[in-house]
Amino acid sequence: GEDVEQSLFLSVREGDSSVINCTYTDSSSTYLYWYKQEPGAGLQLLTYIFSNMDMKQDQRLTVLLNKKDKHLSLRIADTQTGDSAIYFCAEKAFNKFYFGSGTKLNVKP
Amino acid sequence: DGGITQSPKYLFRKEGQNVTLSCEQNLNHDAMYWYRQDPGQGLRLIYYSQIVNDFQKGDIAEGYSVSREKKESFPLTVTSAQKNPTAFYLCASSIDGYGRGSNQPQHFGDGTRLSIL
C-alpha cells in the first residue's frame, strides 16, 4: 500500500501560524486532501489540491504541494483555540484513499 | 440534509457476541468504506464497496464482515473472531464507482465507539 507520513504533534500559541507537514509516496496520486477530526467525531474535509497545482488558498488555510519532493503542507493563519484537533492528510491514487496517522494540533491561549 | 448516519454512537459487546454497526448515506454515492481508528493512530481500512452487491477486503478484514444489498446502506458486523474489537469505527462514502476517477473526496459519518463488556 501507499505510505503517508505526518508528525504526531504540533503545539502553537493562539494567533500564531500553524504548519502541518505530510509526505506521501505515490507519484501517481491525483488528489491530496486535508481533513480535521475533533474529539469523538468523524473526519471533516477541510480542503484538497490537485497534483498539478502548487498552492491553494482558502480563507485562513493555505495548502502547498511540492510534487518533486512528494511533500504537502497545511498552513493555518491566525490559529485559534477552536483549531485544536487532529489533522489528517490523505492521498487518492487509483480510486483508493490512503491516510496519514494524523497530527494533533494543540493551540495554547 | 445529505450526509452519512452511523448508529449507534456507542456500542458494547459481550464475549462471543457478534454486533452490527449501521451506516446509511443519502448522498447517492456509489462507494462506501469502513475504517477502524485506534487511540492516537490513523485510519485502517476494513472493507470497501464500490458498487451494490460487491465489496472487497481492506487491510484488516479478519474478524469482520459486511454486506451491500442497497446503495445507501453498508452495515459492518464485528464477529466473535475479532479478538480486539475495542476501537472507534468510521464509515465513509465517495461518489466514485469503478473506473470513475474524480476529485471527489470521502465524506465521513460521526463514528461508532465499540467497547468490550
- pLDDT mean by block of 10 residues, chain A; 109 residues: 86 97 80 92 92 89 91 96 96 82 95
Mean pLDDT of B97-105: 64
Q: Is A40 on the interface with B (CB under 8 A)?
A: yes
Question: Which grid coordinates belong to B76?
Answer: 459492518
Nearest CB to B105 within list A42, A48, A95 = A48
Q: Report the alpha-carbon distance of residue B8 to residue A29 in Å, rounded.
A: 35
Cβ contact (<8 Å) for B106 and A41? Answer: no
Whether residue A41 lies within 8 A of chain B, CB to CB, comes out as yes
Q: Tell me if chain B has a CB within 8 Å of the CB of A106.
A: no
Among A40, A43, A95, beta carbon nearest to B108: A43
In the beta sheet, which residues pair with residue A70? none
Indicate the SS3 state at residue B40: coil
**Coil, strand or helix at B35:** strand
Q: Residue B115 half-sphere exposure, CB side, CA atoms within 13 Å?
A: 5
The alpha carbon of residue B6 and the mean position of all alpha carbons in its chain are separated, in whole angstroms, by 9
For the segment B97-106, the average pLDDT, to the nearest whole number, is 67
The residues with which B37 forms a beta bridge, in sequence order, are B43, B88
Touching check for A101 and chain B: CB below 8 Å? yes
Give the integer Cα–Cα distance in Å for B90 and A38. 13
Report the pLDDT value the prediction gives residue B116, as an integer from 0 to 100. Answer: 87
Buried b (16+ CB within 10 A) or exposed e, A24-51: bebeebbbbbbbbbeeeebbeebbbbeb
